[in-house]
Structures are given as structure tokens and as C-alpha cells.
Amino acid sequence: MAPASEGPQENIFMFIPNQIGYARIVLGVASLYYMPLHPRTCSLLYATSCLMDALDGWAARKYEQGTKFGAVLDMVTDRCTTSCLLVFLASAFPRWSIVFQGLISLDFASHYMHMFSTLTMGESGQSHKKVDESRSWILNQYYSKKWVLFVFCALNEAFFIALYLLSFSSPTLSPSLLAPPSAAGAPPAPKPSLFLHPWSAGAMELARANKMDSFWPWVLAGVSFPVMAGKQIINVVQLVKASRWLAEGDVADRKRAGLPRKKSS
């Protein structure tokens, strides 16, 4: 092979799809900043970051700049942004926190096992989005058809965005975070400071005081819920298939190593 120093070297980090990935990170961080107090601004920034997920794939194909670094960057960005939103929902809906914690764990475990099994068991340079139909028909349809992948990912995020908006507009789902009125004869509860920490209970309560009072978050949640549930089923299938694929590799490796060794009588 020719030495790596010969010829012009490409700067992988500055490829167009990777620059789009950096922009998604900036938008995601900005949405986290506005998340406790500004639901409209946060939702706009977060949704824009999610929609740009399709743009980086298009750019990679158009400019022939698909890279392993870009694939990992895209997946890590997706997992981190979704997890941050679910962490907020766990604090906004404490009774359902175990559900959101489970969704975070399933999301990370499923995608990590899938990518690791693809890198170790697949062909050299094989993408994690290339799943043979004989291994899993569901995953083949999910990854091979771009519109299917886009719809599932978009509506999955839309459901969690709808829950986020409902945490500011629905006292039924998310009760008051401030202390209840003091009993008769007891000293009154202190009023929240004008300069609140953005993640404090008082700050969120002040944000809820300016309620959105919109019916559309309920509509968005109802429409996107079946797709979100389907996405979680796909995550379970992905986790199981990746685990079995790795186990097949372990069996083959042990056979080549002559394991288990026969014990002498």
C-alpha cells in the first residue's frame, strides 16, 4: 500500500454531512438551554435538529462523503438528543420516570449492540443500515426504505415533543411542582425568586403559568403514539437480532479454538 502521506489528504471532519451533524449538535444544545422555560423555542430548535437528520444522509450520497465517522456521529447525536429530552420528561412526569428510563436504556442498548455486531460480524466496511432480509425482514424494511426510516424516526420524536409541550399545558398529566398552600396558622410558603435557576421547580412552574392552552399537542401525541410504539418494538427486535448474531460469532470462534475441550476420563 502507498504511504498515507502520499497525495492530498481529505479532511473527513469538514465533510458537508459532518458539518450538518455539527449544526445539529449546536441546535440540540440550544434547545436544552431553552427547555425549562421556553417550550415554543425549544420545540422549534429540537424539531429542526431532528429534521436535519435526513439532510446529512442526502448530502453524504450526493457528494459521495459517506464515512464511518459520519455514521457514528449521526447515531450518537440521535441517541444523546433523544435521551436529554426523555430525562426532562422523567422530571416533568415523575410517576412515569421509570418508563422514560427504560426507553433511554432500550434505545442505547439496541443501537450499540446493532452497530457493534455489524462492525464485528459484518463484511468490511458494511454499514449498520445494511441488514440482510434473511436475518431480519423487519430491520431490512426499516433501514432499506428511507421513507420508512424517516417516518418512524420523525414521529417517534414528535410524540416526545408533544409530551414535552403537554408538560406545560396539561395539569392533568403534570401537576403543580410548587408546594401546596400552607395550612391555616402555618407561615406562608416562600414565593419563588425573580431570578430562578432555570432547572428549579419554581422556574418550570412560572413557565407553566404562561400556559399554551393548545389542543394540538394532544393531536400530535395521538397521531404519533402508534408509530412511537412501533419504533420501540423495532428496538427490541434489533437488540435480540444483534445479540443472536454476536452469539453465532462466539460459537464459531469457540469451534475454531477447539472449545470446549474434551476432558479425559
Q: Which of 78, 107, 132, 250 is catalytic?
A: 78
Residue 241 lies in a domain: yes
Indicate the number of domains in the chain.
1
pLDDT in the model for residue 123: 77
Residue 197 lies in a domain: no
Residue 7 lies in a domain: no
Residue 188 lies in a domain: no
3-state SS string over the chain? CCCCCCCCCCCHHHCHHHHHHHHHHHHHHHHHHHCCCCHHHHHHHHHHHHHHHHHHHHHHHHCCCCCHHHHHHHHHHHHHHHHHHHHHHHHHCHHHHHHHHHHHHHHHHHHHHHHHHHHHHCCCCCCCCCCCCCCCHHHHHHHHCHHHHHHHHHHHHHHHHHHHHHHHHCCCCCCCCCCCCCCCCCCCCCCCCCCCCCCCHHHHHHHHHCCCCCCHHHHHHHHHHHHHHHHHHHHHHHHHHHHHHHHHHHHHHHHHCCCCCCCCC
Predicted confidence (pLDDT) at residue 187 exceeds the cutoff of 60: no
What is the reported pTM?
Answer: 0.81
Residue 217 lies in a domain: yes
Domain that holds residue 35: 13-172+203-255
Residue 64 lies in a domain: yes
Has 78 been annotated as catalytic? yes
Predicted confidence (pLDDT) at residue 265 exceeds the cutoff of 90: no
pLDDT in tens, 119-161: 888 777 677 888 888 889 999 999 988 899 999 999 999 999 9
Residue 144 lies in a domain: yes
pLDDT in tens, 68-124: 899 899 999 999 999 999 999 998 888 899 999 999 999 999 999 999 998 888 777
pLDDT in the model for residue 208: 58
CATH of the domain at 223: 1.20.120
pLDDT in the model for residue 207: 61
pLDDT in the model for residue 77: 95
Residue 94 lies in a domain: yes
